[in-house]
């Protein structure tokens, strides 16, 4: 996920306490006198797929060369009835970064929220992860050579997936291989006094401008699928204590903070202990935290934080934004956002004022002349939902309004999927999504007025690939399907790979 900021040189007329998400690219825009963030599709996760499908079929196909072309690999999976599992090919990421760099030349800095690997979790290994982190980091650097870039770790950085061993585990499980790799690769952007911290727990803090700090938080140490935490999940490696100390230091200095992390609190992969502690820190430091920047879920989502963690009728304090992702995985169009924030000047709040969203329409991109160009999904979140300002209260009111306003809810679902055709969401489905927007920690009390508010079903949005049908094909059927595809005279020439 990448975000672009345009800084303001004069004070904006109102102050807000909104939040942000994921990978950022910051820019200056003198015309608008504000700061915008171009947020690149919520995850950078899944951006390299060189081994992805081909590795999976190696055990089933005698000749791996049948899938030698990246384009052929993705298309062959379509005929295998498991479409929607393709991650973002390298060239697509390269193309999108190039379009961002060309379209938004007033970038100030970039934030990347992690997940550099594909969903080929059966292929995960420490050495390949290290190569992918270096490769992707260097690709981003190449497109923004004169900009600051700040990274965070995603759950896919763990080997196995979601595995971040705290220091109390035996040394063979320690994360030195990962934390050391990112410390070395991201060294140009991380102050020397943060080197020891990032090598210990994958966290760090930077001060891009006077009065402004960015905290990169490794919340893989709060991941509910991190099995090491079943041994002891009490503030592993002191990450939450470290965050609290950083926020207190910023408060004393009068600085504003953007927190960058991967997994949003309250979601299925965030432990309740971690989520609730984070929630309480957000309330305690509401006047210091200017943005919560997260990703992970691939879709356009938000989570309201309330003054009373158990009462949705209490004052909305903040919002965690989880922007859409770059990867087409789960049948999405690759996406980025441009946020407008209060900019660089004495007394700036550094809070989000507005944002717009851009997508790469893959249907159009895969038609002649195969010239992928981004298009705008909407120009302003304020205009899109009729907000007077980007305030937590507006987002909380939107949840209440969507309970009875199907038009507004369908508009949100369209932006959620980034396409006009999407799965039907019945009353139970709708209740689930509205409840989730209130649950920045796992409390049913926050949804007591919403009937049938069980956790959202993720199956519909994943598409055909999630069907049991994917496992019903024999080795011979798979080989025949791939051979049939390769011999199809209508198949796109190798020189015209889809983006």
The CA distance from 359 to 344, in Å, is: 28
Percent with pLDDT over 70 in the chain: 74
Query: What is the pTM assigned to this prediction?
Result: 0.81
| pLDDT attached to residue 57 | 39
Q: Is the peptide bond before 369 cis (omega within 30 degrees of 0)?
A: yes
Encode 185-209: b = buried (16+ Cβ within 10 Å), e = exposed: bbeebbeeebeebbbbbbbbbbebb
| pLDDT attached to residue 321 | 92
Confidence of residue 371 (pLDDT cuts 50, 70, 90): confident
pLDDT digits (tens, 9 = 90+) for 439-489: 999 999 999 999 877 665 544 444 333 333 334 456 666 566 666 655 666
Confidence of residue 106 (pLDDT cuts 50, 70, 90): confident
Confidence of residue 340 (pLDDT cuts 50, 70, 90): confident
Burial of 421 (0-12, 13-18, 19+ CB in 10 A): exposed
CATH number belonging to the domain at 3-49+87-391, selected among 3.40.30, 3.40.50, 3.60.21, 3.30.300 = 3.60.21
More confident residue, 68 or 327: 327
pLDDT digits (tens, 9 = 90+) for 300-311: 999 999 999 999
pLDDT digits (tens, 9 = 90+) for 115-150: 999 888 888 999 999 999 999 999 999 999 999 999
Question: Which structure tokens are listed for 487?
Answer: 């011999």
The CA distance from 274 to 266, in Å, is: 9
Contact of 233 with 240, CB cutoff 8 Å: no
Name the least confident of 46-50, 110-114, 169-173.
46-50
| pLDDT attached to residue 16 | 21
Question: Which structure tokens are listed for 362?
Answer: 């893959």
The CA distance from 263 to 221, in Å, is: 10
Mean pLDDT of 227-240: 95
Write down the mean pLDDT value for the chain. Answer: 80
Confidence of residue 34 (pLDDT cuts 50, 70, 90): very low
With 60 as the cut, is the pLDDT of residue 172 above it? yes
Mean pLDDT of 42-65: 35
| pLDDT attached to residue 80 | 39
- The β-bridge partners of 321 are 293, 302
The residues, ordered by sequence, that sit 6+ positions from 383 with a Cβ below 8 Å of its Cβ are none
- The β-bridge partners of 260 are 216, 293
| pLDDT attached to residue 281 | 98
Question: Which structure tokens are listed for 286?
Answer: 């509401």
The CA distance from 158 to 155, in Å, is: 6
| pLDDT attached to residue 9 | 42
DSSP single-letter state for residue 379: S
Beta strands (DSSP E) in 261-396 are 289-294, 301-306, 316-322, 335-341, 352-360, 374-378
With 80 as the cut, is the pLDDT of residue 223 above it? yes
| pLDDT attached to residue 499 | 38
| pLDDT attached to residue 3 | 62
Contact of 414 with 420, CB cutoff 8 Å: yes
The CA distance from 369 to 358, in Å, is: 21
The CA distance from 279 to 267, in Å, is: 13
Q: Write phi, then psi, for 366 (nearest 5 degrees).
A: -95, 20
Question: Which structure tokens are listed for 323?
Answer: 């922007």
With 50 as the cut, is the pLDDT of residue 156 above it? yes
Q: Which residue has the tokens 């935290």?
A: 289
Q: Quick one: CA dihedral 128, 131, 133, 139, positive or negative?
A: negative
More confident residue, 108 or 315: 315
Contact of 456 with 423, CB cutoff 8 Å: no
The CA distance from 80 to 78, in Å, is: 5
With 60 as the cut, is the pLDDT of residue 77 above it? no
Mean pLDDT of 174-190: 97
Confidence of residue 250 (pLDDT cuts 50, 70, 90): very high
| pLDDT attached to residue 102 | 93
The CA distance from 282 to 417, in Å, is: 28
């Amino acid at each position: 996920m990448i975000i672009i900021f345009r800084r303001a040189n004069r004070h904006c007329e109102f102050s807000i306490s909104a939040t942000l998400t994921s990978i950022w690219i910051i820019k200056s825009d003198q015309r608008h006198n504000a700061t915008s963030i171009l947020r690149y599709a919520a995850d950078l996760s899944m951006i390299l797929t060189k081994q992805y499908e081909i590795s999976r079929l190696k055990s089933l196909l005698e000749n791996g060369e049948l899938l030698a072309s990246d384009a052929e690999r993705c298309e062959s999976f379509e005929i295998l009835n498991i479409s929607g599992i393709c991650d973002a090919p390298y060239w697509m990421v390269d193309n999108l970064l190039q379009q961002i760099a060309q379209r938004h030349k007033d970038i100030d800095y970039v934030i990347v929220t992690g997940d550099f690997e594909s969903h080929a979790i059966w292929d995960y290994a420490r050495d390949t992860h290290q190569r992918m982190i270096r490769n992707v980091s260097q690709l981003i650097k190449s497109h923004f050579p004169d900009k600051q870039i700040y990274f965070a770790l995603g759950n896919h950085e763990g080997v196995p997936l979601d595995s971040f061993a705290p220091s109390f585990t035996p040394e063979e499980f320690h994360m030195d291989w990962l934390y050391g790799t990112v410390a070395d690769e991201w060294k140009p952007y991380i102050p020397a006094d943060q080197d020891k911290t990032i090598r210990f727990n994958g966290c760090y803090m930077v001060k891009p401008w006077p009065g402004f700090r960015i905290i990169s938080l490794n919340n893989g140490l709060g991941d509910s699928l991190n099995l090491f935490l079943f041994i002891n999940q009490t503030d592993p490696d002191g990450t939450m204590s470290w965050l609290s100390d950083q926020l207190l230091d910023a408060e004393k200095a009068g600085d504003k903070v953007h927190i960058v992390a991967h997994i949003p609190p309250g979601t299925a992969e965030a432990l309740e202990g971690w989520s609730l502690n984070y929630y309480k820190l957000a309330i305690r430091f509401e006047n210091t935290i200017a943005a919560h920047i997260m990703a992970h879920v691939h879709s356009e989502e938000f989570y309201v934080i309330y003054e009373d963690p158990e009462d949705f009728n209490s004052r909305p304090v903040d919002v965690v934004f989880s922007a859409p992702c770059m990867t087409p995985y789960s049948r999405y169009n690759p996406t980025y956002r441009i946020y407008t924030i209060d900019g660089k000047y004495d007394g700036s709040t550094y809070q989000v004022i507005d944002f717009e969203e851009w997508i790469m329409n893959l249907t159009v991109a895969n038609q002649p002349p195969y010239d992928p160009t981004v298009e705008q999904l909407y120009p302003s979140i304020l205009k899109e939902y009729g907000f007077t300002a980007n305030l937590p209260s507006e987002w909380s009111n939107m949840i209440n309004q969507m309970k009875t306003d199907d038009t507004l809810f369908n508009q949100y679902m369209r932006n959620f999927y980034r396409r006009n055709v999407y799965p039907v969401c019945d009353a139970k489905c709708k209740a689930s999504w509205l409840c989730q927007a209130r649950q920045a920690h796992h409390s049913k009390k926050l949804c007591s007025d919403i009937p049938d508010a069980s956790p959202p079903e993720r199956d519909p949005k994943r598409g055909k690939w999630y069907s049991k049908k994917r496992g019903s094909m024999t080795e011979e059927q798979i080989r025949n399907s791939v051979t049939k595809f390769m011999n199809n005279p209508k198949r796109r020439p190798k020189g015209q790979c889809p983006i």
